């Protein structure tokens, strides 16, 4: 196979070839590391590249295949880990000068599970400082650029994961999503991103285990890869109370997607899309209808609590990171500093009212699932924006960059973003598919059905030609 075919091969295919001794983990990891080195000066998807360790693990993985040992589901598959997850013995900066020399002694539970499944970490992918921003840029590492157009944002805060997947720098990325941080970069970069049901994947890195709306999840090029990765690392952890009652995930491949009679509610009032995004969304809805789904415009008058969600977000940034300001202010991201200062303006009553609004939103969304099996919307209202527009995203969330995504962090529902086509500027657009709590597999199946009807994984950014 060609070098490009190897780099853009789905993880499901690569894992099968490795098990059959038709693909060398050493060759595979070498190809990915070479591509990372070639794109770092332009795409800048990684803070740390663990080349030596990855090659050592690849050699061990290959020997295990030759010795016919029992292999994990991700044996020999390269993965990047967002730099918000602790990795034992590997620099973990959280995108911040504050942690420029932090080397954890222990792995995050999800990193442990990926290792146990045979995945090989090739590096730590970029994130804005403490994952605060919907665009991946910061004083510590510069800008992570969109592989489809280097003058556009890769989104954030899992921007390194999204850019890596789009550029062929390994098929799997582990990201986080507190207000769209998986779905935004996946949409901007034309890949797949799953924000699971809160608790499906244990998230031990949150500062507040009980008042949590952030989750971990995969960024990949195919829906099947996202499903495989999710199945591999799902399961409870005693350190995440949300995960303790999570049901066992139904296997993705247990049955084919059947959309006959499936009721889908289109959230037409969520965000204001550009004409090209709207046209691609309409084409996706038509494809779902052609497969038997019943699609209706949701006319429910829902308060999406944009300002209250903003209050909670900025207020939490102050609580979580404001204590760094006295010592580190001049070395922190100016936007994070600004948002912390905004968060300091909110009082206890403001914050508690916002929390109560979250409960109202949760109930409004769950009420929709009495009528609909799934909800859909554009993921982003426009294609990836230019860097000059990313400098301050302080305005209302009602029509902002993350207008379509943050509500489902607040409600906890699983939300998948899949490519929907390309805009007039040649950049990807995306559709978001939302399901009831714990219906992650069913959401993935709808995404797979759309992937089958409107294929996208074979499409690659022009920079791939040089790899």
Q: Is residue 340 part of a domain?
A: no
Candidate list 24, 96, 125, 157, residue with the active-site label: 157
SS3 assignment for 165-196: HHHCCCCEEEEEECCCCCHHHHHHHCCEEEEC
Distance CA 20, CA 75 (A): 12
| 452 catalytically annotated | no
pLDDT one digit per residue (tens) for the chain, 467 residues? 888 899 999 999 999 999 999 999 999 999 999 999 999 999 999 999 999 999 999 999 999 999 999 999 999 999 999 999 999 999 999 999 999 999 999 999 999 999 999 999 999 999 999 999 999 999 989 999 999 999 999 999 999 999 999 999 999 999 999 999 999 999 999 999 999 999 999 999 999 999 999 999 999 999 999 999 999 999 999 999 999 999 999 899 866 678 999 999 999 989 889 999 999 999 999 999 999 999 999 977 899 999 999 999 999 999 999 999 999 999 999 999 999 999 999 999 999 999 999 999 999 999 999 999 999 999 999 999 998 887 777 777 888 899 999 999 999 999 999 999 999 999 999 999 999 999 999 999 999 999 999 999 999 998 887 78
DSSP 269: T
Residue 293 main-chain phi, psi, to 5 deg? -75, 150
For residue 87, the cross-strand partners are 90
Distance CA 420, CA 188 (A): 11
Q: How many CB atoms lie within 10 A of CB 157?
A: 32
Indicate the pTM of the whole model: 0.98
Q: What is the CATH number of the domain that holds 59?
A: 3.90.1300.10
Candidate list 158, 181, 273, 420, residue with the active-site label: 181
Residue whose tokens read 């308060």: 303
Q: Is residue 462 part of a domain?
A: yes
Q: Is residue 328 part of a domain?
A: no
Candidate list 82, 195, 237, 273, residue with the active-site label: 82
Q: Is residue 344 part of a domain?
A: no
| 181 catalytically annotated | yes
Question: Could you list the residue range(s) of the whole structural domain that residue 382 is in?
Answer: 3-304+352-466
- Name the domain count of the chain: 1
Do residues 310 and 403 make contact, with C-beta atoms less than 8 angstroms apart?
no
Q: Is residue 377 part of a domain?
A: yes
Q: Is residue 327 part of a domain?
A: no
**Which residues are within 8 A (CB) of 358 and not within 5 positions of it... i.e. 6 or more apart?**
213, 305, 308, 309, 312, 410
| 377 catalytically annotated | no
For residue 74, the cross-strand partners are none
Q: Is residue 343 part of a domain?
A: no
């Amino acid at each position: 196979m060609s070098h490009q075919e190897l780099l853009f091969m789905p993880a499901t295919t690569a894992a099968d070839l490795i098990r059959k001794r038709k693909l060398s983990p050493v060759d595979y990891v070498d190809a990915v590391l070479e591509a990372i080195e070639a794109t770092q000066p332009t795409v800048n998807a990684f803070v740390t590249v663990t080349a030596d360790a990855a090659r050592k693990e690849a050699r061990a993985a290959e020997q295990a295949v030759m010795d016919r040992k029992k292999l994990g589901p991700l044996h020999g598959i390269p993965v990047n880990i967002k730099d918000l997850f602790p990795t034992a013995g590997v620099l973990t900066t959280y995108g911040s000068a504050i942690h420029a020399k932090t080397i954890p002694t222990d792995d995050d539970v999800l990193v442990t599970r990926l290792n146990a499944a045979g995945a090989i970490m090739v590096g730590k992918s970029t994130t804005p400082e403490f994952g605060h921003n919907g665009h991946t840029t910061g004083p510590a590492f510069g800008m992570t650029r969109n592989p489809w157009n280097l003058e556009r944002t890769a989104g954030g805060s899992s921007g390194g994961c999204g850019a890596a997947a789009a550029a062929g720098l390994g098929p799997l990325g582990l990201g986080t999503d507190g207000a769209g941080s998986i779905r935004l970069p996946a949409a901007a970069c034309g890949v797949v991103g799953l924000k699971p049901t809160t608790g499906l994947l244990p998230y031990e890195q949150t500062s507040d285990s009980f008042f949590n709306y952030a989750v971990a999840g995969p960024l990949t090029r195919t829906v099947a890869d996202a499903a495989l990765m999710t199945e591999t690392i799902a399961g409870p952890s005693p350190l995440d109370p949300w995960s303790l009652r999570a049901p066992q995930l139904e296997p993705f491949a247990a049955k084919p997607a059947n959309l006959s009679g499936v009721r889908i509610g289109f959230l037409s009032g969520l965000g204001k899309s550009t004409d090209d995004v709207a046209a691609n969304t309409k084409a996706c809805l038509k494809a779902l209808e052609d497969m038997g789904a019943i699609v209706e415009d949701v006319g429910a008058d829902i308060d999406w609590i944009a300002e209250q969600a903003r209050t909670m977000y900025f207020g939490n940034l102050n609580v979580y990171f404001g204590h760094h300001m006295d010592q580190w202010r001049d070395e922190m991201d100016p936007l994070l500093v600004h948002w912390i200062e905004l968060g300091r303006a909110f009082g206890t009553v403001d914050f508690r009212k916002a929390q109560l609004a979250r409960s109202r939103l949760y109930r409004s969304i769950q009420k929709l699932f009495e009528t609909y099996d799934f909800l859909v919307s554009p993921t982003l209202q426009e294609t990836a924006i230019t860097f000059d527009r990313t400098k301050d995203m302080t305005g209302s969330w009602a029509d902002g960059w993350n207008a379509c995504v943050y509500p489902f962090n607040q409600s906890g529902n699983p939300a998948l973003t899949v490519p929907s086509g390309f805009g007039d500027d040649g950049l990807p657009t995306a559709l978001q598919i939302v399901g009831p709590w714990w219906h992650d597999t069913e959401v993935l199946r709808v995404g797979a059905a759309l992937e089958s009807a409107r294929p996208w994984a074979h499409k690659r950014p022009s920079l791939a030609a040089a790899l």
